Structure 1
Amino acid sequence: MRALLVRIMPQVALMAGLGLGAVMTFAVYSAEERRLEAEFERSADLAVDLITSRLEQHVVVLRAAKGLFAASRGKVARDEFLRFIEAVDIVGDLSGVQGVGFARAFPPDQGAGARAEIAAQYGVDVEIRPETDQPWRVPIVLLEPDNPRNMNALGYDMYVEPVRRAAMDRALATGEPQMSGPVMLVQETEVDRQTGFLVYLAYGGRSAGAGGGLSAQVGFVYAPFRGGDLIRAALSGAHGTQPGMRIMDEAMPDLPIHADPVVGEGGPDLSRRVDVLGRTWRFDLWQTGTVPWHRHLGSLLVGLVSILFAATAALAISARQEEAGQARELAAAAKRESEYRGLLLQEMKHRIKNHIARIQSIARQSARGASDVKAFTTAFDSRLQAMAAVQEILAGTLSAQADLGEILRKELQQCLDTAAVDHLMAGPPVVLDERQAHAFAMVAHELVTNAMKYGGLSGEGGRLRVNWQLDPPETAGAAPVVALDWVERFPGPSEAPAPAPAATAIAGGGFGSRLIEASLKGELSGTISRDFSADGLHIRIRFAMNPDLVPKVAARPEERRRRRR
């Protein structure tokens, strides 16, 4: 359990850091969202205030126009009215309104008087329209500026239409500016049609007679508005992104005064109700566009710092664990090194004894086949050189690769002639890496030494045969397996029992046999089996090749000798 906790500690630290970071990031993000909502609410309220303020400015203009008519006793010449319009600059500073006009009340049978007044002001003869069933007519007799849209409105009787009539009656009754419900202005054409409304301010006295208080002394200073134009003019000076909006008269919601074409999705929405000039408007507002990424810079930075902190903590713990693991590995390596040094000391003692025995055996073998001292010296010297060559392989002073047959050949040449050695061996080229060559050289050395002491090379009549081959790998994708058979036939009568030391060495109980097994199992990851009988010994050795050396084929010994020559 403790090992499991130690192993997963970096992951736990990473997840804990990420969890804490996620909580902090969410908190900062929530605060940013609340701030954005508050900013949007302030922006929406500012837009509503700008629109209502623009309407109030136009009401001031209407009151000034009423004052002009009062000063002129209801008779204002067009030139004088134009100077007034230019002075208040409704086209520039007070844009958003179609114009400022005057509508005078007439009995239905006195339409000629209205036509005459229009003709006197504008030099055109227009019909008073449309037909009416009301006791009074209130046609437009003055409207500036005189653009084509406004000229089309001259002579129009606004008292015919119920929505306009209701606003005019309220203005007459209250004496205050009153706004109509949403209508289509008579100035509208087929191009860029907009919903509009009108603001009326009554001028003149009221009558108690029929007609809702109208009399021949009554008129209305009024201003027609197009909804979209008013909103754009009111918000033109505002900074930043403006909210989308829909403006409706709550008494007539089916005809919006203004509606932006795109409705925001996912942003904060809110509504505002405003009482303005006798009507109640509802503003539905929403966020337009996307929120810039830098508006969430705080949560982004907190998230990045949290990720970096969690990753750093996990890496730090992992590094400490790796350092602890390396310390344990170093301790284990030191222990193995100490054990290996002890093994080397024993092996050195053992090899010294073996070298003496080998030199003695080489001397006997050389003396047995020599006819004189010179022949003995030559044979003895060549076998000592072969023994030194094997020691060079074991010491790693040659190349990092060696051929298995060459190692065996050099070992056997210490006690046999070259021609005899070639007849004893048979097998394909097998390339060993440096580690495998060291290990196999020690194995071959011990096998040859035991054979010279006790087995097939220990006297006359002994025989030795070494065969090897490459078997298919035991598992798919693995390297081929080297299978070597070492077969000895003992000299002398088969019934003669081997001496106790010889029996121990052959059966695998001596130090040399233990060294063979250590080399095979530890360095070659291989196996060894011995079949011992009175007639001889059969040793089977198996180990896998280095996968990186499988495609390579070592040169045959004959080819190497030819290249050396």
Structure 2
Amino acid sequence: MTSARKTVLMLVAVLFTVALGLGMTAATMRLENRAAAIRFERLADSVANRIHQRMVQHLALLRATRSHFDASEQPVSVTEFRRFVDGLALQRDYSGIQGIGYAALTPVGDSGRASARITQVQGMPIEVHPRSDQNLIGPIALLEPMDARNSAAIGYDMFSEPVRQEAITAALASGEPHATGPVQLVQEITAEKQAGFLIYTPTREGLFQHFPAREQGGLVYAAFRAGDLHHAVLETFPDPPVLLRTIDRAAPEQPLFDNHPAGLPEWLTRHSVQREFDIAGRSWQVTLTPRAEFLGADDRRASAIVGALSALLVLAVVAAVLTLFRALAETERSARQSAQQAEERALLLREMQHRIKNHLARIQAIARQTARSTADLEEFEQVFGARLSAMAKAQDAVTRGQRDSADLRELLQGEIGSIARKSPAGGILSGPEVQLDGREAQAVGLVVYELGTNAMKHGAGSSGPVVQWRVEPRENRRWLVLDWFEAGATLCPDSAEAPAGGFGSQLIEALVEGDLEGRFTRDFDSSGMRIAIEFPLSLA
């Protein structure tokens, strides 16, 4: 097969694969759009149903309030009505309702008498307002909870306003609750105003007495701030990605609620859905539109996967040409790994040789100095063996630790406990957790062994040494400060040298100042001997 034919066949295969992948990706995106639309419709149903159910609950409260008025043998007082409404816990359980109240129905000629009666009921001067040219007046006599907003509505003649009058008339005619269209509540006394609506239901309770006919009694009503009502519903959802617009279909020019921002993209409005339901004789229409975040990356996951698989399929067609290059690259990578592993083994071997050389040098120095300070072979064997044992314990602590390190407390317990058997650690150990590297652990182990041996040899008290340590920041490094105290230890009466003199002292100073690059001090007072060992730590 010629090179030109190979090129043509490869182009045909690639183009066919690309076309197939694009077709599958487009089909998947259509399915995702449909799935997102169904999901949003379910969310829209849930939001609309909660608005409707909340209004059903409010209507139940209104009917219960009317029953309370109708069942009362005496006119309902302000105190009795306040206790009743407080028991409903409106602000806690029924967010969105501004208040529940009672309005009397009285001939317009009794306006002055009505004002006097409401003044008597409320305990403060109230005038029925505004002036009305209707045959009846419907002033608000009771309204709870009595906050700043609701107190501004007492005495307001609701029959004087056409939208309210229409709903009152419909409620009186049917004997059932009836809602108004959008209005501005008298309670809107602040700069932030919302659309509102009211629901009326007739009662036989009159301003002055009970009347058998509802049209001669009064009205129990509920006032709603539509914005608060919708926000209360939306708060029941965890950050819902939905925009709402609610209108009364008989008065669509004044929305009850609308949180749609200006300039909403058309691709979002295409996903809008509408729901309608009846609220106390009025028909509400709710338009729900998804926010931009509703259609996020998760909604495009399937199409992204299909697109990626299509791209992989295209790459697979070309992969045969690149097989040789991948094989060569793999060979080179294996060679580099082998060279790196060989270098790591050589490094480990050099480190092991270095450590063995250091250990042998230290053992040789200890053996030489031990031979000089002992009287015979038996004493040499005992002292030299004990010091080698101390080195072995330090090395054992290092190998047990992580990152080639040893825990300071464990090291001290091992070294002091092998010398002083009177307590688990040969004294008292206190200090924070500190990790030592192998070099530090070897040096500290030998130093502690020498100090403990001298403490036992010279009888520095019966309770053993007290060892405390801490870590201090110095010159951008962490320093270990170890304090060793032996109660009752003093200078020898015939020598200026401390009980820890001789080879032990020389070894300690050499280890601290040489191996650890630190400082070693020893002081005596009436209470005993105090030793301070300070050196910089290698491990963080």
What corresponds to 2:156 in structure 1?
156
Which residue in 2 is equivalent to 1:102?
A: 102
Could you tell me whether the CA contact under 8 Å between 1:269 and 1:284 is conserved in 2?
Answer: yes
Residue number in structure 2 paired with 1:111: 111
* Runs of at least 4 residues off by over 6 Å: none
TM-superposed deviation, 1:203 = 0.8
Q: CA deviation at 1:8?
A: 2.5
Whether the 8 Å CA contact 1:179–1:200 is kept in 2: the answer is: yes
Check conservation: 2:116, 2:126, Cα contact below 8 A.
no
Cα distance in 2 for residues equivalent to 1:313 and 1:107: 92
Cα distance 1:204–1:242, how it changes in 2: closer, same or farther (>3 A)? farther
TM alignment of 1:169-184, pairs within 5 A: 169-184=169-184
1:189 aligns to what?
189
2:290 to 287, 291, 307: 287
CA contact (8 A) 2:204 2:214 kept: no
**2:318 matches 1:314:** yes
- Is 1:233 the counterpart of 2:237 in the alignment? no
TM-score where L is the length of structure 2: 0.55
Aligned residues: 316
Deviations 1:139-187 (A, max 9, x none): 0000001111111100000001111011011111111111001111111
| Map of 1:223 onto structure 2 | 222
Structure 2 CA distance, aligned partners of 1:2 and 1:167?
90
Given that 1:198 and 1:222 are in contact with CA atoms closer than 8 Å, whether structure 2 keeps it comes out as yes
For the 8 Å contact 2:196–2:223, the answer to whether it is kept is yes
AA partner of residue 259 (structure 1): D
Distance 1:159 1:7 in 2: 88
Unaligned stretches of 5+ in structure 2? 207-212, 328-540
Task: Give the 3-state SS of the residue equivalent to 1:127 in structure 2.
Answer: coil
Q: 1:249 matched to which residue of 2?
A: 248
**Shift in alpha-carbon separation, 1:50–1:215, aligned structure 2, 3 A:** closer
Which moves more between the two structures, 113-122 or 166-175?
113-122
Could you tell me how far apart the structure 2 residues matched to 1:144 and 1:26 are?
59
Q: Deviation string for 1:37-84 (max 9, x for gaps)?
A: 111111111111111111110111111101110111461111211121
Q: What per-residue deviation string (whole Å, max 9, x for no partner) do you get for residues 419-438 of structure 1? A: xxxxxxxxxxxxxxxxxxxx
**Residues 173 and 242 (structure 1), Cα distance of their counterparts in 2 relative to 1, 3 Å cut:** farther
Judge conservation of contact 2:138–2:158 (CA < 8 Å) in 1.
Answer: yes
Q: Hey, what does 1:274 align to over in structure 2?
A: 277
Partner of 2:508: none
Cα separation, partners in 2 of 1:73 and 1:161, compared to 1, 3 Å: farther
Name the CA distance, whole Å, in 2 between partners of 1:310 and 1:161: 73
Cα pair 1:51 1:235 within 8 Å, conserved = no
How far is 1:308 from its partner?
Answer: 1.0
Q: Which amino acid aligns with 2:95?
A: S
Q: 1:187 to 1:57 in 2, by over 3 A?
A: same
Q: 2:195 & 2:205 partners in 1: Cα distance?
A: 32
CA distance in 2, matches of 1:73, 1:319: 98
Bigger shift: 54-63 or 66-75? 66-75
Alignment of 1:299-338 (within 5 A): 299-316=303-320
Q: Once the 2 structures are TM-superposed, how far is the Cα of residue 119 of structure 1 from its aligned partner?
A: 2.1
| CA distance in structure 1 between the partners assigned to 2:248 and 2:296 by the alignment | 34
Aligned to 1:89: 89
Q: What whole-Å deviation, never above 9, does each CA across 1:458-481 have from its counterpart, x for those lacking one? A: xxxxxxxxxxxxxxxxxxxxxxxx
Change (3 A) 1:214 1:71: closer
Whole-angstrom distance in 2 between the partners of 1:215 and 1:194: 31
1:62/1:223 contact within 8 Å kept: yes
* Gaps in structure 1 of 5+ consecutive residues: 207-212, 324-565
SS at match of 2:93: coil
Give the root-mean-square deviation of aligned CA atoms.
2.4
In 1, Cα distance between the equivalents of 2:98 and 2:74? 22
The whole-number CA distance in structure 2 between the counterparts of 1:202 and 1:2 is 96
Q: Contact 2:152 / 2:187 at 8 angstroms: preserved in 1?
A: yes
TM alignment of 1:154-553, pairs within 5 A: 154-204=154-204, 215-216=215-216, 218-262=217-261, 264-265=264-265, 266-267=267-268, 268-290=271-293, 291-316=295-320
The Cα offsets for residues 204-223 of structure 1, whole Å up to 9 and x where unpaired, read as 299xxxxxx8754x111001
1:254 match: secondary structure: coil
* Residues 1:138 and 2:142 are matched in the alignment: no
Q: Give, in whole Å, the separation in 2 of the partners of 1:174 and 1:73.
A: 24
SS at match of 2:37: helix
Match of 1:381 in 2: none
Kindly report which structure 2 residues correspond to 1:14-163, keeping only aligned pairs within 5 A, or say none: 14-73=14-73, 75-163=75-163
Distance 1:82 1:20 in 2: 73
Q: Could you tell me which amino acid in structure 1 is paired with residue 233 of structure 2?
A: A
| Equivalent AA in structure 1 for residue 252 of structure 2 | P
The aligned amino acid for 2:307 is G
Structure number with larger C-alpha Rg: 1
Q: Distance in 2 between matches of 1:205 and 1:156?
A: 18
Q: How far apart are 1:274 and its partner, in Å?
A: 1.9
Query: Separation in 2 of the partners of 1:284 and 1:77?
Result: 43
Distance in 2, Cα, partners of 1:192 & 1:17? 60
1:230: how far off? 0.7
Q: Which letter maps to 1:275?
A: D
* Aligned-residue offset at 1:113: 3.1
**What displacement does 1:32 show?**
1.2
Alpha-carbon distance in structure 1 between the residues aligned to 2:304 and 2:74: 68
Partner of 1:342: none
Q: Distance in 1 between matches of 2:107 and 2:145?
A: 27
Deviation readout 1:3-25 (Å, 9 max, x if unpaired): 53322222222222222111111
Supply the distance in 2 between the matched residues of 1:94 and 1:136 (Cα, whole angstroms): 32
Question: Quick one: distance in 2 between partners of 1:54 and 1:288?
Answer: 24
- In structure 1, C-alpha distance between the alignment counterparts of 2:214 and 2:8, rounded to whole Å: 92
Quote how far apart the aligned CAs of 1:306 are: 1.2
Letter in 2 for 1:247: T
The question of whether the paired residues in 2 share the 8 Å contact of 1:47 and 1:242 is answered with no
Please report how far the alpha carbon of residue 300 of structure 1 lies from its aligned counterpart in structure 2 after TM superposition: 0.8
Deviation at 1:271, TM superposition (A): 1.8
Alpha-carbon distance in structure 2 between the residues aligned to 1:177 and 1:113: 28
CA contact (8 A) 2:149 2:187 kept: yes
Contact 1:107 1:137 in 2 (8 A): yes
- One-letter code aligned to 1:236: E
Which amino acid is the alignment partner of residue 125 of structure 1?
Answer: P
Paired with 1:181 and 1:74, the residues of 2 have a C-alpha distance of: 33
Distance 1:247 1:310 in 2: 51
Q: Deviations over 1:257-281 (max 9, x none)?
A: 1111416421211222222211111
Give 1:75's aligned amino acid. P
Q: Cα distance, 1:299 vs. partner?
A: 1.1
* 1:299 aligned counterpart, secondary structure: helix
